[in-house]
Structure formats: C-alpha cells, structure tokens
C-alpha cells in the first residue's frame, strides 16, 4: 500500500454529491488518412484489448487507521472504465459539450480505480474525441498533462500506441507498505506531522504580514478580501462545460507591450470577461474579484499526486480601464510569487492550506459565508507546442474540464497547445445562467487589451 499525501486526501474529504472532485480533459482528433467506415468500431475493439492497466490506473483506495492508501485492484474490470459512445445528430460541438457536461456531473465509484475514458464518435467533420476523467486525489493538472504527453506522440506515422491506462512508466516503482506494517504506518504519520509542525513559524509570520499589508494597500490580497458575489453561492451537482481556442500570439503581443507574462494577460482577459458577464446579470461587486490561481511547486518528474501552491490574485474587475486592470494584476501576482520563493515546499503547501481554510469551512459547513478567500478559480497549465498524434489521428483540440466547488461555482482552466490557448470553463449549471456567454466576453477582453496596447 502507498499512503496518500495530506493534500491528496483533502480532495476525498471534500467530495459530496453536489461537489464531485474529479478533473477531466476533452481531446478532439481528426481521422487519420485512409480511415474507412469501420474505423471507430475497430478503434474501440483495439482499446478493449488492453486489459492490463499500469499504475496509477490499476490502483484503488483503501482506508486504514484514519489514512487513505492506494492498493492494486485485483478485480479490475475494463468495461467499467472504458466507454464507447456516439453523439446524437447533427454531431456539432454543441452536442459534444453537452455530452461532456452530463458525464462530468457524475460521481465515480470509490470501490474501483478512480478514472474513466470515453471514446466519443459521431462528431461532424470526420472527428472523434476522448473524454478522460480522473479523481483529483490521483492527479493534478501538471501530472495529467505529463500523462497525456506520454500517451500521445509527435510522430504522425507511429501506430503502436496503447491507450493511456496501459502506458508503462519508465520510473522505478516506489516501495509500498504492506497491510501488516502498523509500526511503519505510525512512523510515516509521525514523520509527516513533524514536518507540518516545523512550518508553523513561517506560516504565522507570512500570514501576519499579508493581513497587515492588505489593510494599507487596497490592491493587495490577503485571505479575507474577496467580495460577496453571485459566483459564490451553494452549487448543485449539475455541470455546464464550455470550450474555445484563442491564438496565443495575440496574448503574447499584448504581454510584450505591457511587460506582462502570458499568465498575467490571461488573468486580465478573464477579469474583463467576468466584469462584463456580471454587469449583464447586474451582479458586479464594487470591490475587485479575487482569483485563486494554482502554481506548480513540483520539483520531480512524477505523474501522480498533487504538488501545488495557490496564489490569490486581484482581478481588477472594479476598474473599467484594461491597462489599469493589468497593472493591478501584475502587482498582485508578483507579490504572491515573491512570498512563495522564500518558502520551502512544505511551507508553501501549508500556507496554501491556511489560505484555503475559509473556503474549506464554507464548503464543509456553510457556517461562515462572509469569510470568502476567493471568488473564482483560474488555472493555466503549459502544454505541447507541436502537433501531437495518437496512432495516426491528429490531436486538434485539448480542453481541460475541471472542478467547481461549493460557493465557488466557476472554474476557468486553460492549456497551451501548438499556437492556441485552449480554454475550458466548468460551472454549476443552475448557479450561473448562460455561462457560455463568457466565451464571447473572453474574446472582447482580448480585443480591449489589444486596443489599449495599440495593436
């Protein structure tokens, strides 16, 4: 058995019916040249022949002594994890997104390995798609992207590629605990507890400094600055997923003028889109929205678990001037990054946990709705800069499908792929009406920054 880290276990404790804690990806492919009428049937049969999953896809949960562990599933059933489905006609992207929205609403069975792969056919233009889904306790965004890169190829001629669950790891497997190693389990717990206690002085110092500065500087963000907003209501288990691609060259051109990173520009575009969306609902707060922005602190090449810290970024939604907004965002992000650079990995993880505590309390109890640490989640994951293929089929789109949580009803996650930024917006269907309009507002946000930059 292999114990889950404290961060990984949090994703299990937070899960409930209206709050599934799995992440996903929608990958759209074009048919390879020469594909015949039986291509999809043959493809599905090929994938069903891979019945020997590799770690972590063969691992299921085991609970013992107050701790979750991973153990090998000795009764693995591929039919539960792999689904072959077809879209209803006319097979537009609208039907595809609707299908993914419905599938993403469903909880996964904790008695089995926590992943699914859906092969979806019937998409206009001789295309098919994979919708991959895995619990967040199993992978974070960086790990999921690494798995994807390993399961696909830059070579369009390669034709010997197994599905993602049968990819063999090139790393030596880590030693596992056996069920009888009670003393070893206790020692592992005590070692972890000691590391956590050692971070307390740094956490207290940094949190005190952050709260004090937030009182002096209205643009600085600490854990209690997020305003009340329609985004932060209780959610249901129903999901709506929307996706769109935007040229990364436009983002980089804006960043060059303002001396901003791609991520800074993305946050400014999202800030503009959220401002306009909330104005359309007559729900724009007077104070700026705060985004929780995951930042990878992974220092190894592992493909599982979570190694992330969280930045709280001021989105500048209270100002109409896009140039002023991006300046506010740059200052906010720079301050947060400087803080984390001074911390060890354990300190960064625990500071993140403390930052998320108000939102965690709300999600678990609903007793402190005014203690809102952030309003929205915005995550940017780097992806491949060259076209990828799977057994000759070209990967045309790579869209993340993420997690809204109770009182944070919208998650904006994006990936870079070749020349585009691939935006995936996942929201509670009931809490945020007509959420798909945000795609139009994202385009408007890019245009207004281009105008402000003189492009």
Active-site residue numbers?
Answer: 136
Q: In what order do the strands lie in the sheet with 308-314?
A: 239-247, 420-428, 410-417, 376-381, 290-296, 308-314
Integer Cα distance of 420 and 154 in angstroms: 17
Integer Cα distance of 53 and 12 in angstroms: 23
- Count of all residues that appear for the chain in the document: 455
**Among 329, 361, 378, 351, which Cα is nearest to 210's?**
351
Integer Cα distance of 410 and 396 in angstroms: 25
**Contacts with 180 (C-beta within 8 Å, 6 or more apart), sequence order:** none
**Among 445, 442, 417, which Cα is nearest to 320's?**
445
- How far from 197 is each of 77, 190, 200, 297, 325, CA to CA, in Å? 42, 10, 6, 20, 39
Burial string for 160-197 (b: 16+ CB within 10 Å, else e) reads ebbbbbbbeeeeeeeeebeeeeeeebeeeeeeeeebee
């Amino acid at each position: 058995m292999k114990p889950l880290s404290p961060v990984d276990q949090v994703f299990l404790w937070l899960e409930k019916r209206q709050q599934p804690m799995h992440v996903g990806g929608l990958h759209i492919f074009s048919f390879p040249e020469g594909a015949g009428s039986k291509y999809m049937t043959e493809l599905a049969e090929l994938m069903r022949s891979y019945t020997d999953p590799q770690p972590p896809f063969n691992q299921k949960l085991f609970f013992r002594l107050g701790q979750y562990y991973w153990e090998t599933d000795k009764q693995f059933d591929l039919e539960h994890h792999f689904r072959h489905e077809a879209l209803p006609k006319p097979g537009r992207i609208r039907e595809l997104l609707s299908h993914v929205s419905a599938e993403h609403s469903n909880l996964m069975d904790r008695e089995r390995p926590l992943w699914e792969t859906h092969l979806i056919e019937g998409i206009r233009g001789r295309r098919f798609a994979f919708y991959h889904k895995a619990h967040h306790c199993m992978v974070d965004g960086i790990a999921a992207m690494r798995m994807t890169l390993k399961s696909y190829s830059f070579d369009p001629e390669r034709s010997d590629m197994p599905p993602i669950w049968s990819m063999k790891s090139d790393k030596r497997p880590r030693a596992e605990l056996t069920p009888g190693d009670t003393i070893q389990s206790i020692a592992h717990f005590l070692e972890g507890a000691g590391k956590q206690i050692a971070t307390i002085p740094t956490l207290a110092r940094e949190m005190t400094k952050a709260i004090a500065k937030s009182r002096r500087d209205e643009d600085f963000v600490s854990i209690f600055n997020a305003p009340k907003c329609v985004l932060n209501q209780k959610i249901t288990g129903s999901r709506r997923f929307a996706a769109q691609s935007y040229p990364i060259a436009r983002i980089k051109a804006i960043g060059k003028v303002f001396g901003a990173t791609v991520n800074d520009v993305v946050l400014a575009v999202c800030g503009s889109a959220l401002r306009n969306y909330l104005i359309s609902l007559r729900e724009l707060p007077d104070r700026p929205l705060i985004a929780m922005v995951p930042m990878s602190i992974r220092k190894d090449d592992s493909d599982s678990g979570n190694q992330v810290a969280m930045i709280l970024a001021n989105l500048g939604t209270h100002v109409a001037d896009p140039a002023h907004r991006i300046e506010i965002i740059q200052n906010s992000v720079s301050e947060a990054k400087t803080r984390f650079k001074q911390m060890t990995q354990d300190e960064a993880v625990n500071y993140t946990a403390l930052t998320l505590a108000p939102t965690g309390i709300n999600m678990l109890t609903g007793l402190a709705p005014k203690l809102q640490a952030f309003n929205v989640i915005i995550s940017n994951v780097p992806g491949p800069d060259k076209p990828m293929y799977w057994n000759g089929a070209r990967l045309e789109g790579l869209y993340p499908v993420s997690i809204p949580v109770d009182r944070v009803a919208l998650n904006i996650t994006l990936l870079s792929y070749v020349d585009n930024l691939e935006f995936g917006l996942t929201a509670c269907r009931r809490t945020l009406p007509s959420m798909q309009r945000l795609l139009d507002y994202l385009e408007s946000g890019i245009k207004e920054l281009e105008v402000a930059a003189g492009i």
